[in-house]
Chains A and B, each alone.
Chain A
Amino acid sequence: MMATGIRDRVAIIGMGCTPFGEHWNKGPEDLMVEAFEEAVADAGIERLAIDAAWVGNALDDINVGNSALPLAHALRLRCIPVTRVENMCATGTEALRAATYAVAAGAVDIALALGVEKLKDTGYGGLPLKTKGLTNDLWMPYGSAPGTFAQLAGAYSARHALKAEDLKRAMAHVSWKSHQNGALNPKAHLRKPIAMDAILNAPLIADPLGLFDCCGVSDGAACAIVTTPDIARGLGKSDIVTVKAIQLSASNGWETQFSAWDGSYVRNTREAARRAYDEAGISDPRAELSLTEVHDCFSITELVTMEDLGLAADGRAPFDILDGAFDRDGTLPCQIDGGLKCFGHPVGASGLRMAYEIYSQLLDRGGERQRQDVRLGLTHNLGGAPFNSVAAVSILGRLN
């Protein structure tokens, strides 16, 4: 029998998200509690009603440590099943997927997914470097995150015969647009619009990515409480947000070891999106989606993601971007909350932060940046590097 998927089988009844930023005075415990308190109040449940919890943090060595215990301690959970998940930048969405699956499976009634990362205890800017495993370390290059994603740019230019300066301008528009959006979001880390010239002329971090082509690095936590639509109704919820799809795709070495990939796109985003659209029953994502929160760790990532998600035709993303299609007032806004660009990227929290924005927009809680008539929203995470990645795509919408 074919799997039927989880569309509309799980409802999100409460979400929380801390302001993201350089929280010099807050530790992971503070961030977890703050996100959870907002979510549990939003859900309107007794905190003891939570049957199981998943915590996502990607960099345990600079965070709270390994395993379930940090979350169980922080929230003083009462001997329930708690699990830590880690899947690079897809970690937050991975926590939501686990909680959602537990509810969809009927194993639990109410589950918690919480993502947290405390990056600003590294002592320096950018993401910390991690070993790739003792065998891989003997040969794999240790590039920085901007170094890995920057490589999309040259390959994209080569594939589409696009001049480097034209691509750079489209990339700059991606960042310009997100800074415009972030300025309206009280929870964003970076809240200043940035001029195009400043973006174009910023110092290079990894050619051709300049400083403003890169997302910030911050601390933050976000969480979701999920249950069945029936229980949600029983709790008196009338405006119910459900999970339409959550899909993942992971590299198996094909990109870097088999000579088929040209380096200009991300295969896993395409795979995860295709399956997510199937699961959600979406046939024309450009027309059916209301907004997207994608993994804009770097401007070039967002640019190729527009094509990988089927939201721009092959080779057309730079032109659609420059035409404003993904601006706040465009046909399909992307990063209406400011994105990773303005929130920074506390790795384990980002996926749930994206879900928080879609959830808020679906419930008309978007404040100054509320988009009219939001029906379906998509979140996208891309962990690792374009050539060795885990992509997650989730779709949230109203239950009707």
Chain B
Amino acid sequence: MTADRFIHSIGGYLPSLRLARKSAVSALKWSGLGGVREGYRAVAGWDEDPMTMAVEAARTMTRELEAESLIFASTSAYFTERAQSGLMVDALGLKRDTRSLDVAGSRRCATTALLQALDGTKPAIVAAADARATKPGSAHQLLFGDGAAAIGVGDNGGARYLGSHSTTHDFIDFYATRDHPTPYGYEERFIRETAVDAILLPTIQAACEAAGVAAAEIAYAAVAEPLTGIYPALARKLGLKASNLASDLFAQAGDLGAAHASFALGLAFAKAAPGDIVLLAGFGSGCDALLFEVTGTVLGAAQMAVALAQGSALTDYVRFLNLSGGLDLAWGMRAEFEQKAQATVIERHGRDIIGFVGGRDSTGNVQFPKSRIPVNPALSVPETLEDVRLAEEIGQVVSVTADRLNYTPDPPFYFGLVQFDNGARVMVEFTDCPASGLAVGDRVRMRLRIKSLDRRRGFRTYFWKAAPFERPTLEKQ
């Protein structure tokens, strides 16, 4: 008998902006297009992608869990050759001898990766994220949301893994291809009936059997639904009494793709008490169903429930289209600025840049970036600086402006000087700024974001930006 495996910790991330779906439906009213009008859809900022969101979801757990492997799961990852998990290892400050893997193929990839981690013997992180492109006016545009969830697995934690079952079924509720990158969906009635009866129901039943759990004993569910509203029918047929946290997540943020079930699992853990049984089901080209028994507190779960309730309502459909790639606006010649990065430079400095690693000099002063001769006026000869990670530091605004001349895909461009308590300071871009802007003295936290986009060569670079320390509470819709 192998040792019990546990969910050690869990983390989630949603972008600050939430499109009020009714705004989109109202903008599209003339066309009869749109779809679901209640609730919100989380919208990645122009500088966010699945990798940056996955880092945000995973960053809290790396302090507590010495992961030996990292899996990144997404169906919308930017790089097809250059592992997102490789970037994450550097961004999270993990050791270079961490085993890393990107998985994709269907939105179920995250739960399958989680099973792989649970079946293993070493501490591991599975980080899932999606920011899927959709066509303006399509139902998917308002069904989908952008976000991430990460799960830390180990030999201890707050939820014991009881068992699982997986099925493979080449079922096409929608597909996306290199030739058709946005979803192409099929009839809802076909999806509703086939997904429940042929895939979800038998898989979950088999998982319950494997775990020795009756469906009625399950306290909370995190079941990814291929269509909103199918869970009640599934629950009835299974004899499940548990509410589905994935439905709550859909209402407030949309279907997060690969991250959806994992994020919902965090919401379930936030509600659960020791002894509760929790069901996790990932869907896509089949199904993975997993059962857990809550044994204590799962680190990070409570913060996920808080994160779901925070954000800024976005009611401008055109701004949403601009952010989500549905519109290609003419930004003028300033947007033609070349931002070509070089692999040799990234080889020399990339790990320190994406990991936000500065240096401590022999007097104790911390600076960013590191330099041969420290910036400290008390020192004047070269010395070796000790690595200091700044990503988790809280900063204070020294100077800031909302620059309306500089090109940015989502104006205005906020930038300025941020001071950290440990002595380091850095000129940075600000992100997630409220319309009222930022002021000298405001507290900020650092977020990994896209620094530059090289559209001509299909490349992007990443660096940390300062965001307001607190997010506003989202009005419930």
Contacts and interface: CB of A to CB of B under 8 A. Distances in A.
A258 B463 contact: no
A278 interface: no
B259 to A, nearest CB: 28
Interface string B331-350: 01110011101100110111
Interface stretch (A92-100, A204-212, A308-316, A321-329): A204-212
A72 B21 CA distance: 65
Contacts of B427: 140-141, 256, 387-388
Interface stretch (B73-81, B304-312, B317-325, B433-441): B433-441
A239 interface: no
B425 A151 contact: no
A140 B399 CA distance: 15
Nearest to A153: B401
B84 interface: no
A89 to B, nearest CB: 17
A254 B463 contact: no
B368 A259 contact: no
B417 A151 contact: yes
B202 to A, nearest CB: 51
Interface string A143-164: 1101100111111011000000
B406 A151 contact: no
B426 A256 contact: yes
Interface string B410-439: 001101110100011111110000000101
Interface in A119-176: 122-124, 126, 129, 131, 134-135, 137-144, 146-147, 150-155, 157-158
A377 to B, nearest CB: 31
A144 B440 contact: no
Interface size class of chain B, counting residues whose CB lies under 8 Å from the partner chain: 35 or more
B371 interface: yes
B403 interface: yes
Contact of B401 (A138, A150, A158): A150
Contacts of A230: none
Contact of B417 (A123, A126, A157, A263): A263
A206 B405 contact: yes
Contacts of B353: 138-139
Contact of A152 (B371, B399, B439): B399
A254 B374 CA distance: 10
Given A134-B342, A138-B349, A257 B368 contact: yes
Contacts of A153: 401
Interface in A230-281: 252-254, 256-259, 261-263
Contacts of B405: 126, 144, 146-147, 205-206
Contact of A138 (B341, B412, B440): B341
Contacts of B440: 154-155, 157-158, 263
A129 B398 CA distance: 24
B270 interface: no
Q: Which of B426, B427, B439, B441 has the most CB of A within 10 A?
A: B427
Contact of B413 (A143, A254, A259): A143
Contacts of A134: 341-342, 345
Contacts of A254: 375, 377
A124 B331 CA distance: 12
A192 to B, nearest CB: 22
B404 A205 contact: yes
A141 B425 contact: no
A388 B416 CA distance: 12
A385 to B, nearest CB: 9
Contacts of B367: 257-258
A139 B463 contact: yes
Q: Which of A124, A154, A209 has the most CB of B within 10 A?
A: A154
Contacts, number: 133
B401 A252 contact: no
B398 A262 contact: yes
Given A124-B332, A138-B341, A138-B349, A256 B401 contact: no
B400 interface: yes
A259 B423 contact: yes
B191 to A, nearest CB: 45
B93 interface: no
Given A146-B405, A205-B404, A207-B401, A256 B417 contact: yes
B365 interface: yes
B471 interface: no
Contacts of A157: 440
A147 B348 CA distance: 30
Contacts of B377: 254, 258
A259 B416 contact: no
B401 A131 contact: no
Contacts of B413: 141, 143-144, 147
Contacts of B439: 154
Contacts of A143: 401, 403, 406, 413, 415
A155 B398 contact: yes
B418 to A, nearest CB: 10
Contact of A137 (B332, B339, B412): B339
Contacts of B332: 124
Contact of A155 (B399, B429, B461): B399
Contacts of B365: 258
Q: Which of B341, B342, B405, B439 has the most CB of A within 10 A?
A: B405
Q: Which of A123, A157, A257 has the most CB of B within 10 A?
A: A257
A88 B158 CA distance: 59
23 contacts: A124-B333, A129-B406, A137-B341, A137-B461, A138-B341, A139-B353, A141-B413, A141-B427, A141-B429, A143-B406, A144-B405, A147-B406, A147-B413, A151-B401, A154-B439, A155-B399, A204-B404, A206-B404, A206-B406, A253-B371, A256-B425, A257-B367, A257-B375
Given A137-B452, A257-B426, A258-B377, 13 more contacts: A124-B332, A135-B345, A137-B341, A144-B403, A144-B406, A147-B403, A150-B403, A151-B400, A157-B440, A206-B405, A207-B404, A253-B375, A257-B368
